[in-house]
């Protein structure tokens, strides 16, 4: 009796192992589940995996690199075929690459980009994402176009653009690049940008609202010609603060163009109401799909150029951003 039991158990074990061997197992580490952008990203990845018949398991890094490192170890010991990693701290990616390299598992980074040196240290390390500077460039272009087509936007008639910059979490790559390139784009459009104030609002609506309120008081909304926010939540916080100061409520003379990045539902609604000028869409659906397609190709050992996406420098898939405006600004 006992022998039969042991044998059956062994048989089941072998069967499951062989079944696993046939199926592609993707282990995906997300920096934090509770993030609207990563959520859309995750949904896109799940959808694509289902389409390709791969199994994807996701782990919530809870915004803590130590937690994420442990999750990567767990995935590797569980025998995943490929890793998709959204690092908590992009500068800590080397340790992740080393782990993947030691286990000879391909790794695809998403959303937060490791340095080129890190990616170069392992032939099976890739990155799928958007060029962060592009989001900055496009939001700057939105403002520049508005400024050119609306002469009244130059409130003090000096030909320069006096703007306020609301920045994301300090040290975040998106925050650095978006801040830099949005201003650069205005310059490239032939307008001289003048930063009257800037502040870190940690991607947060509430903080942005309080900060913008203080700016509206200290600088005076009549002296602000544009608000550039690193993301939509902060842009919406600025909009709420401006509304509290009777700006952006429909009166043409009391309007400050506000731009963000992300194109979330609240931002689209604010744009429909004319409270917000525009936003830039980070195409998470496309990125999620590309990451999974690349991961599956890597796990199968098939040609990565067959995914339908252009591979740049043998390491990168770049998904372009898209400008979003509504109503008359379209």
Determine, following the binding rule CB under 8 A, whether residue 327 of this chain makes contact with another protein: no
Alpha-carbon gap, residue 278 to 323, rounded angstroms: 8
Strand 160-167: give its sheet, edge to edge.
Answer: 192-200, 160-167, 226-229, 258-259, 278-281, 322-325
At closest approach, how far in Å is the CB of 219 from another protein? 8
Binding range to another protein, per CB under 8 A, among 16-24, 184-192, 265-273, 287-295? 265-273
Within 98-157, which residues bind another protein (CB under 8 A)? none
Helix (H, G, I), strand (E, B) or coil at 259: strand
At closest approach, how far in Å is the CB of 280 from another protein? 17
At closest approach, how far in Å is the CB of 239 from another protein? 9
**R_g (Cα) of the chain, nearest Å:** 23
Determine, following the binding rule CB under 8 A, whether residue 169 of this chain makes contact with another protein: no
Determine, following the binding rule CB under 8 A, whether residue 33 of this chain makes contact with another protein: yes
Binding range to another protein, per CB under 8 A, among 2-10, 112-120, 182-190, 266-274? 266-274
Alpha-carbon gap, residue 166 to 24, rounded angstroms: 43
DSSP 163: E
Binding range to another protein, per CB under 8 A, among 116-124, 229-237, 277-285, 290-298? 229-237
Binding range to another protein, per CB under 8 A, among 148-156, 173-181, 197-205, 305-313? 197-205
Alpha-carbon gap, residue 313 to 315, rounded angstroms: 5
SS (H, E, C) 166-203: EECCCCCHHHHHHHHHHHHHHHHCCCEEEEEEEEECCC
Determine, following the binding rule CB under 8 A, whether residue 197 of this chain makes contact with another protein: yes
Nearer to another protein, 20 or 57 (CB): 57
Helix (H, G, I), strand (E, B) or coil at 283: coil
At closest approach, how far in Å is the CB of 224 from another protein? 13
Nearer to another protein, 29 or 317 (CB): 29
DSSP 308: S
Determine, following the binding rule CB under 8 A, whether residue 311 of this chain makes contact with another protein: no
DSSP 106: -
Instruction: Tell the burial category of 327 from Cβ atoms under 10 Å away from its Cβ (0-12, 13-18, 19+).
Output: exposed
Alpha-carbon gap, residue 138 to 321, rounded angstroms: 8
At closest approach, how far in Å is the CB of 79 from another protein? 29
Helix (H, G, I), strand (E, B) or coil at 107: strand
Determine, following the binding rule CB under 8 A, whether residue 236 of this chain makes contact with another protein: yes
Residues 199, 274, 300, 311: which binds another protein (CB under 8 A)?
199
Alpha-carbon gap, residue 212 to 19, rounded angstroms: 57
Residues 188, 195, 206, 302: which binds another protein (CB under 8 A)?
206
Contact positions toward another protein, by CB under 8 A? 33-36, 39, 43, 197, 199-200, 204-206, 209-211, 213-214, 217-220, 233, 236-237, 240, 243-245, 264-266, 268-269
């Amino acid at each position: 009796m006992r022998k039969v039991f042991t044998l059956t158990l062994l048989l089941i074990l072998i069967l499951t192992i062989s079944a696993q061997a046939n199926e592609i197992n993707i282990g995906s580490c997300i920096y934090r589940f509770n993030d609207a952008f990563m959520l859309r990203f995750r949904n896109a990845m799940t959808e694509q995996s289902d389409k390709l018949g791969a199994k994807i398991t996701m782990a919530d890094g809870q915004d803590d690199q130590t937690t994420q490192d442990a999750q990567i170890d767990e995935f590797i010991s569980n025998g995943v075929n490929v890793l998709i990693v959204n690092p908590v701290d992009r500068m800590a990616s080397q340790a992740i690459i080393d782990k993947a390299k030691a286990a000879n598992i391909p790794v695809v980074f998403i959303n937060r980009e490791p340095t080129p040196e890190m990616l170069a240290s392992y032939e099976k390390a890739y990155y799928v994402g958007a060029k962060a500077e592009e989001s900055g460039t496009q939001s700057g272009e939105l403002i520049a176009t508005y400024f050119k087509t609306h002469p009244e936007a130059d409130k003090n008639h000096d030909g320069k653009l006096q703007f306020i910059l609301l920045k994301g979490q300090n040290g975040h790559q998106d925050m650095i690049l978006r801040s830099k390139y949005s201003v650069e784009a205005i310059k490239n459009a032939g307008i001289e940008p003048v930063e009257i104030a800037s502040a870190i609002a940690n991607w947060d609506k509430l903080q942005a609202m309080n900060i913008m309120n203080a700016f509206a008081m200290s600088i005076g909304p009549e002296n602000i010609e544009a608000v550039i926010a690193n993301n939509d939540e902060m842009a919406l916080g600025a909009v709420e603060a401006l509304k509290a100061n009777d700006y952006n409520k429909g009166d043409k003379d009391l309007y400050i163009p506000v731009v963000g990045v992300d194109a979330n539902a609240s931002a689209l609604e604010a744009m429909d109401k004319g409270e917000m000028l525009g936003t830039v869409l980070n195409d998470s659906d496309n990125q999620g799909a590309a990451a999974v397609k690349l991961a599956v190709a890597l796990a199968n050992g098939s040609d990565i150029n067959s995914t339908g996406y252009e591979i740049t420098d043998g390491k990168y898939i770049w998904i372009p951003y898209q400008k979003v405006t509504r109503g008359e600004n379209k």
